[in-house]
Amino acid sequence: MSLEPQALPPSSDPGLDVTGDPLQRRTLTTLIGGQIIGAIGVSSGIAVGSLLAAQVSGSEKYAGLSGTFQVLGGALAALVVARVMAARGRRPGLMLGYAIGTVGAAVIIGAALIGNFPLLLIGSILFGGATASNSQARFAAADLSAPAHRGRHISIVVWATTIGAVFGPNLTEPGAWIARRTHLPELAGPFVFSLLGFVVAGPLLWIRLRPDPLLAARERAAAALPEGSAATPLRARTAHGGLRRGLSAIAEHRAALLGITAMALGHAVMVSVMVMTPLHMRHGHADLQIIGFVISLHIVGMYALSPVTGWAVDRFGARVVIAIGSGLLIGASALAATSEKGASSHLTIALILLGLGWSCTLVAGSTLLTGALDLDDRPAGQGVADVAMGLAGGGGGALAGVVVDQQGFSALAIGAGLLAGLIGIAAATIKERPAGAGDRPAQV
């Protein structure tokens, strides 16, 4: 049986918006601030990661490995972060992820300075810790949220990433300026902004995210139990953050399975095309400023309209939005496959649609997963979701470099389109059992 925090106080009634709940207001405001700053750090590095990998390794076929190892690092970090969150709450988990990312950014800068590719990959794995925290923050927005508004509250935090994520790639030129004056390789400069962003975002969440939303949700759920019932002690609940527990919880609910499938496949499509786009443009002699601008527009597509996506999830259901996301990703892949090298309108539109499709699969999948799982199982299930996304994205990024090197960018885009079609098939075929599971079966 699912224990929902909003069943307790009148301010959290499912029929009301959480803006009437001071704790949820503070939680959302804090998460928004952390997302903006943390996203500057993450996106600054992503914008030039493949270019730096090609430069340090001396071969373009290894260009996708930087992004791949960042994504894989994020997947590994998600396991650790989820376990910490289940045991101690959202604050220490988010702080830990940004701390790992800070070390990673420093290692990447050092690797670029001495030209050591294996060290660069190690730094990229650690860099993924910040990605894990940036991603897991969306789930913290749902801890105290009413089911009727869960999609919108997740999407608000996703939307907040827009500001930092758009600003980050445009720091490529300022980063190069800093690099020249500090005697660093030009492409290492943006990672200075990554390091600074993580140093600020982690402590901000640690200080401001009080009371911890997950712990507060557990307390509310326990208080909502009928008088005289035997509530599970808080310490007993903290063991539910492991990979096995998360997989078991997801396997019990088809809605959760659809959610994680949409997120993982959508992320694989997005990452595989995105990480190779800068290299494709570089082959057409586009300069860093233009590359940064196109990536910024892609990130706008990923995040800027996410509140609309969240509203659509709450209004029409997650399955419909997942199907829409599949269609957008297919369209983006088709445009990318027919784009010319360098800067082109086809490629720019493709990257925007790629971001929009990813946003649909992320917000709808996250809402579906969260609503299907009991409160105590959510950190573990959410951690598994981000691990699945990381592995899918990491595999897509690794394969992308090989495909582009052997067959070209168009072949990569066609393959991504076929993978996007599987998302639509999943939305049409994975249905919840008649008995339903979770608190919002109608969202399936």
* Architecture of the domain defined by 14-222+241-432: Up-down Bundle (1.20)
Top-confidence residue, 402 or 207 = 207
pLDDT at position 257 is: 92
pLDDT at position 342 is: 57
pTM over 0.85: no
Tokens of 395: 């595999």
**Structure confidence at residue 324 as a pLDDT band (50, 70, 90):** very high
pLDDT at position 227 is: 61
pLDDT at position 303 is: 82
Q: Which of 160-169, 349-358, 388-397, 430-439 is predicted least confidently? A: 430-439
Domain boundary assignment for the chain: 14-222+241-432
pLDDT at position 433 is: 55
pLDDT at position 108 is: 93
Mean pLDDT of 223-246: 59
Q: Tell me which residue has tokens 């995040």.
A: 303
**Structure confidence at residue 208 as a pLDDT band (50, 70, 90):** very high
Residue type, position 212, single letter: D
Please, what sign has the CA dihedral across residues 45, 46, 51, 54?
positive
pLDDT at position 298 is: 84
CA distance from start to end of the chain: 18
Report how far apart, in Å, the C-alpha atoms of 342 and of each of 103, 208, 400 are.
Answer: 34, 44, 18
Contact 147, 440 (CB under 8 A): yes
Mean pLDDT of 318-334: 94
Share of residues in the chain with pLDDT > 90 (%): 36
Top-confidence residue, 279 or 14 = 279
Share of residues in the chain with pLDDT > 70 (%): 86
pLDDT at position 438 is: 39
Contact 120, 108 (CB under 8 A): yes
- How far is 61 from 355, CA to CA, in rounded Å? 25
pLDDT at position 184 is: 85
- How far is 394 from 357, CA to CA, in rounded Å? 18
Q: Tell me which residue has tokens 């527990």.
A: 245
Mean pLDDT of 315-335: 94
pLDDT for 108-161, tens place per residue? 999 999 989 999 999 999 999 999 999 899 999 988 888 888 899 999 998 987
pLDDT at position 437 is: 37
pLDDT for 362-416, tens place per residue? 999 999 999 888 888 888 899 899 889 888 887 887 788 788 888 888 899 899 9
Top-confidence residue, 68 or 336 = 336
**pLDDT over threshold 50, residue 234:** no
pLDDT at position 202 is: 94
- How far is 240 from 331, CA to CA, in rounded Å? 40
Q: Which of 24-38, 287-301, 311-325 is predicted least confidently? A: 287-301
Tokens of 133: 């925290």
Mean pLDDT of 23-47: 89
Mean pLDDT of the chain: 82
**pLDDT over threshold 50, residue 237:** no
pLDDT at position 347 is: 84
**pLDDT over threshold 90, residue 165:** no
pLDDT at position 427 is: 92
pLDDT for 173-204, tens place per residue? 788 788 888 888 888 888 888 999 999 999 99
